[in-house]
Chain A
């Protein structure tokens, strides 16, 4: 009896899993293995790939541009992730209330999310414009001379972090909202019967039950932002030192793949990035037992 139900179980697993897994294998995993193979070659796409063994990886080790890109990527993550993680949660808690007009606010926060980075960068380049933009105009009003934001690497970083938070906070809040609203009523009713106040409800029910969502948000943020690309590609002012020096890993990958015709080197770089992300995610997965609750006791 157990044998048959095991087979039946596998039958069901396959039924549910097959479309996704098959598609993934064909359209994602196969190209991934392809790119892994390419990482050991020098390939300009016009001629057949040339095997070079570990040369690309060795070159990466001593490539100053790569290390600079890694530094900037880490810098961005350290500045951006905690900010948007916390702000998104605060915003979600606010949006989850029943104040009149709150759904209007919710829609407003989602506007930046739906716009593409092409549009957002156009708008914010203008806002950060040193001579005509709102930011420096406001700063001048309180007596501070604003810097040439998107012209030099450090100030450009700040500007891009701010723009990214503006763009993404609605998205993060939405993810949290999904989690918040999935928390079963039962828990709150039981707590109310026990006489719990707002703060206690938050601490003992909401936050713990929100941890699966928080876990999802954290992992998604890290995976996505190690691979960040568009804002660094679009925001710095053309031909400024921000433009020439502010690079993250994926912009280096794109440059090497499509501008320098070095597909092999670009693939090698992507795989090093993958390794970094993988290790970090794996660590998070292992750590999740310590802080993620899927059900309340």
Chain B
């Protein structure tokens, strides 16, 4: 009898913690959503109201009127998807070279990779801008995608993951006559799905939310991305009182990544059996 009670109490305790976590994480966003559904007159109230009354989608309509929302949304999506795919491929290949192959100078070169992560991006923007301009890539998709493919973060993340896979795999595969690429493609990558999914999420998110580089590199509406467009929206004197439109923009920005996360999560969890603690 006692052990059942103890288990129930533990379980209830866990559920309580879970509930608190969910509330803490989610409530601020509920507020954001509710503000976006308020009509203009109700925003500047001194007592914050969580449920809007009346509910209206007028801020979204106004958002679509002020900026070319569909084109800009497409730009963000296209750039984010291409950047994610590119980053994963490039980083995985480099991580493989660092984690599963022996060669002279390997650790030094890896240190170089790490070192590039330690310089604040802001000082690099101007030289990068001059470089990309001389390539003729300003205001093109290439200019938005290519320079961002080579962050050392992805390589670092995947290297750690590849390192934790047992070494025996390669030996067995070599015996069977496989070459490096086959090992990479058919063994290492499939086994690293959690890490790949993680990188996919971060790549997508990084590209989707990026403001500084796209601000410089993509100013025309044909290539402009969401954060930059919303920045323009928030800059007029009316923005002070038009929080509902600002929040509508925020909602539009958050929802796609959430969807990507949900998708990637399935990939993430799907490849797993009982890897951790059981409740």
Contacts and interface: CB of A to CB of B under 8 A. Distances in A.
B276 A181 contact: yes
A108 B209 contact: no
Contacts of B157: 175, 216
Contact of B254 (A23, A115, A209, A257): A115
Nearest to B110: A285
Interface stretch (A8-16, A60-68, A75-83, A144-152): A8-16
B29 A115 contact: yes
Given A20-B90, A20-B91, A32 B274 contact: no
Given A104-B22, A178-B195, A16 B254 contact: no
Determine chain B's interface SS by DSSP, over half rule: helix
Interface in B8-38: 11, 14-15, 17-18, 21-22, 24-26, 28-29, 31-32
A94 interface: yes
Contacts of B153: 220
A94 B120 contact: no
B213 to A, nearest CB: 11
A62 B214 CA distance: 35
Nearest to B135: A26
B85 interface: no
A105 B150 contact: no
Interface string A221-262: 001001101000000000000000000011001100110000
Contact of A34 (B127, B191, B246): B127
A33 B15 CA distance: 53
B14 A31 contact: no
B40 interface: no
B2 interface: no
B194 A182 contact: yes
A106 B265 contact: yes
Interface residues on B, range: 35 or more
A116 B123 contact: no
A181 B205 contact: no
A205 B191 CA distance: 19
Contact of A295 (B22, B131, B150, B166): B166
Interface string A67-104: 00000000000000000000000010110111101111
B94 A180 contact: no
A19 interface: yes
Contacts of B29: 111, 115, 123
A132 B155 CA distance: 45
A97 B277 contact: yes
Contact of A215 (B102, B124, B160, B268): B160
B253 A116 contact: yes
Contacts of B90: 19-20, 23
15 contacts: A38-B127, A96-B277, A104-B22, A124-B28, A177-B268, A179-B161, A180-B276, A182-B161, A188-B274, A206-B276, A253-B122, A263-B126, A274-B120, A277-B118, A285-B111
**A-B pairs, 8 with minimum CB distance:** A96-B276, A20-B94, A23-B150, A31-B127, A34-B127, A16-B97, A114-B257, A277-B118
Given A17-B94, A114-B258, 5 more contacts: A16-B94, A111-B25, A112-B28, A170-B25, A277-B118
